[in-house]
Amino acid sequence: MCGRYSLTASLDELARRFDFDSNRDDFEPRYNIAPTQQVLAVVGGDARRAGFIRWGLIPQWSKSDSAGPPIINARAETVAEKPTFRDSLRRRRCLILADGFYEWQKAGDAKRPMRVALRSGEPFAFAGLWSMSSDPEGNRISTCAIITTAANDLLRPIHHRMPVILSEEVEDLWLDNALDDSQTLTQLLEPYPDDALEAYEVSALVNSASNDRPEVATPL
């Protein structure tokens, strides 16, 4: 699964890399992003647009946002089949921006928090799905989930799953609103090349979502 990640690049850098308007005043670096929080995502259309979406997908047909735990991940292998995700896969896809993510590696009875990032240090995009629904008061809310796949060789000793990181070459295709062929879309949901990633142990500070500062992402 993917349950924590970071986004510490500047807004200008993200706007250049992902081709959206950087005229925002509500962005700040995040070192320990957790479920149910607002996350920066990019959607397609006539032009790319960036905005904040709550992490924890609520299906459009759901009548409540409190029917169970937040749905933070969708499995690539079943995303085209499950009613919770299949409509979003065809019609509501997004890039969820990040520059690292965290997994916990078993070490005896303990778990070691590990951070995974591109060797280049550059930001990247998770394959995301979003949905629009209503809360009990009738307010419209946008929510999202990160798609996961089988771990690559680097991640397998740490965790058996990893988030889908889209290569820059397929981001436009993922955001193409005219594309609704599930088979074509699911073919994009592959493990990222392990030689392009690095993993290192970080402080147990990451265990608490209230710790959101640079020390969380610093290698031990």
Please identify every residue annotated as catalytic: 2, 103
Strands (E), the chain: 5-7, 30-33, 38-43, 49-55, 73-75, 93-98, 100-107, 110-118, 124-134, 140-150, 161-163, 165-166, 197-201
Distance CA 184, CA 72 (A): 23
Residue among 24, 7, 38 nearest 144 (CA): 38
Q: Which residue has the tokens 């320990």?
A: 32
Distance CA 122, CA 124 (A): 7
Report whether 124 contacts 140 (CB < 8 A).
Answer: no
End-to-end CA distance of the chain: 23
- Give the chain's length: 220
R_g over Cα of the chain = 17
Residue among 33, 18, 34, 39 nearest 144 (CA): 39
Rounded alpha-carbon distances, angstroms, from residue 218 to 27, 85, 91, 104, 116: 21, 35, 38, 15, 11
